[in-house]
A = this chain, B = another copy of it.
Amino acid sequence: MSKPSEEAPFAYDGLDRVIHEKARLGILTSLIAHPKGLAFADLKQLCGLTDGNLSRHLQVLEEAHLVEITKTFESKRPMTTCRLTASGRRRFLEYIEVLERVVRNAVDLNEAPNTPMSRLRPRTA
């Protein structure tokens, strides 16, 4: 995964745009909490999304191979289940590491401004 560059310490290249979108962050957090998957209706409720918005974001996540979606029937009613893929879980956790670095940089630099960039606490401290 990308490490902070000496030249551009705040480029944050590791913030994958597919994951970084606010609604998709909520979806991925919900799914990491439920390794066996979540029904569309539960996911919608946890993330406070409309049917249309959730469908649109799930499609983006599925195309990026972060999420897999299965459609089954339960008592003759269609049922959509969403689950993180193995690589989706890994990529989401890598993203979260970069996000942790963003938080740490902002907190540290707010408390001690004008810190030389070379003194910034490393990513995995």
Q: Which residues of A contact B (CB under 8 A)?
A: 5, 7-13, 15, 17, 20, 22, 25-30, 32-35, 45-49, 89, 92-93, 96, 99-100, 102-103, 105-107, 109-110, 113-115, 117
Closest beta carbon of chain B to A100's beta carbon, Å: 5
Inter-subunit contact A103/B103 (CB<8 Å): yes
Inter-subunit contact B92/A96 (CB<8 Å): no
Identical subunits present: 2
The one of B12, B28, B29, B49 that contacts A25, using a Cβ cutoff of 8 Å? B12
With contacts A7-B45, A20-B20, A46-B9 taken as known, whether A29 is within 8 angstroms of B92 at the C-beta atoms is: no
Closest beta carbon of chain B to A86's beta carbon, Å: 13
CB<8 Å pairs between A and B, sample of 14: A7-B45, A7-B48, A8-B45, A8-B46, A10-B30, A12-B25, A20-B22, A28-B106, A29-B109, A33-B115, A46-B117, A89-B110, A96-B102, A99-B99
